[in-house]
């Protein structure tokens, strides 16, 4: 199979994508809809509040701590970002966003660990407990904050957010903005945070209005065709049968690319006219192909999906996992493999349509793909 199925964008597609309107704070409907990412999480939400649904961040605060300023800084962030005071309801079978008032305070739990026999171990236990806590989507809040005192001048601010209101990039934004607000307040100056041009609800409304009609058809046609005939199972040699349904109990192996190897990979990438990510992705695909005996691999690559300047500083769930269908048939050379991987990356141009929507629109057999689990896919993070 020749991966000429890069499906180049034609003149009609170019015109459609060139006419994408800006995201603006326009009048909202009475019921603000969920974004496509939120809809994905809502439809597959677990009943046990599993860890996969939470984003957690740990801020180590060393030195004299002003708890009043800390509380006001957190409350200011809740006022700044509507998503941090949003809950979810269902009306006539359709979920919607319910945005709370800007003066909502964020409850701050406090714990003193100074008397613990092993402070760091106790801290780890608190983190594990918090990340597995259950959030109530209807009543909220969907963000929790806990201040842990490790020593007189050593604290940890532990913040946990539900996936319906956050993603990893959101955690970084929150940490950066908290630091600025807290520092500014302690220094007696105004913070230097720029006003947000839009809120997440504006993005959700914009997405629902824009990604519709002919443009939705183009998106779904392109990404749906990527899945036509794709392998539905990665046939890896395992030590036990593959379960009928994933139970999310898994493990992982962490490894580090040491500097000499990383330097050589970067040099090789430059020589081949590509990026380090593409080189690693090609290597991963090759490993999977050798282990499985398959000459076609489908890999999901989590992407921040913040391609618009209006949403760059927003807290909210934007992340998507565009699918890359990589052809390794015909014993390709290294150069040819890189070209095929680069070609597969074109699928990310259509990432406004979430992976689960592609599955629904492609309408594969239900015994092959389910809305919650995609057993034939592997995942590689950028």
What is the DSSP annotation of 236-297? ---SSPPPSS--S----------HHHHHHHHHHHHHTTS-HHHHHHHHHHHHHHHHH--SEE
Local structure of residue 348 (DSSP, 8 states):
G
CA distances from 343 to 13, 50, 79, 100 (A): 18, 36, 43, 44
Question: What pLDDT is recorded for position 243?
Answer: 75
Q: Quick check: 163 and 38 in contact, CB under 8 A?
A: no
pLDDT, tens digit (0-9, with 9 covering 90-100), for 112-144: 999 999 999 999 999 988 888 889 999 999 999
Question: What pLDDT is recorded for position 46?
Answer: 61
Local structure of residue 366 (DSSP, 8 states):
T
Question: What pLDDT is recorded for position 224?
Answer: 66
Task: Please state the pTM of the whole predicted model.
Answer: 0.79
Residue numbers in the chain where pLDDT is lower than 50: 1-9, 11-12, 14-15, 49-51, 359, 361-377
Structure tokens at 264: 């050589």
**Number of helices (H), then strands (E), in the chain:** 11, 10
d(CA 279, CA 270): 10
């Amino acid at each position: 199979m020749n991966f000429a199925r890069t499906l180049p964008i034609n003149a009609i597609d170019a015109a459609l994508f060139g006419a994408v309107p800006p995201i603006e704070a326009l009048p909202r409907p009475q019921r603000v809809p969920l974004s496509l990412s939120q809809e994905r999480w809502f439809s597959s939400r677990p009943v046990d509040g599993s860890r996969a649904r939470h984003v957690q961040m740990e801020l180590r605060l060393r030195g004299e701590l002003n708890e009043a300023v800390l509380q006001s800084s957190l409350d200011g962030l809740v006022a700044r970002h509507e998503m941090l005071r949003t809950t979810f309801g269902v009306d006539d079978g359709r979920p919607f966003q319910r945005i709370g008032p800007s003066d909502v305070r964020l409850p701050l739990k406090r714990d003193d660990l100074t008397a613990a026999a092993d402070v760091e171990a106790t801290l780890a236990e608190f983190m594990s407990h918090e990340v597995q806590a259950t959030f109530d989507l209807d009543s909220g809040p969907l963000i929790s904050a806990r201040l842990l005192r490790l020593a007189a001048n050593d604290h940890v601010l532990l913040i946990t957010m539900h996936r319906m209101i956050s993603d990893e990039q959101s955690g970084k934004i929150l940490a950066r903005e908290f630091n600025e607000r807290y520092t500014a307040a302690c220094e007696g100056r105004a913070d230097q945070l720029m006003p947000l041009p839009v809120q997440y609800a504006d993005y959700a409304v914009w997405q629902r209005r824009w990604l519709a009609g002919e443009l939705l058809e183009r998106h779904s046609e392109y990404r749906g065709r990527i899945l036509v005939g794709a392998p539905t199972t990665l046939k890896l040699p395992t030590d036990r049968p593959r379960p009928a349904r994933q139970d999310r109990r898994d493990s992982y192996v962490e490894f580090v690319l040491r500097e000499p190897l990383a330097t050589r990979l970067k040099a090789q990438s430059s020589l081949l006219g590509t990026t380090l990510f593409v080189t690693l992705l090609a290597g991963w695909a090759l490993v999977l192909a050798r282990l499985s005996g398959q000459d076609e691999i489908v890999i999901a690559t989590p992407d921040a999906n913040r391609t618009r300047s209006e949403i760059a500083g927003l807290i909210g769930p934007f992340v998507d996992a565009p699918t890359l269908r990589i052809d390794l048939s015909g014993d390709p050379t290294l150069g040819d493999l890189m070209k095929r991987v680069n070609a597969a990356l074109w699928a990310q141009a259509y990432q406004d349509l979430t992976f689960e929507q592609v599955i629904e629109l492609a309408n594969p057999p239900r015994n092959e793909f389910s809305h919650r689990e995609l057993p034939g896919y592997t995942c590689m993070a950028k």
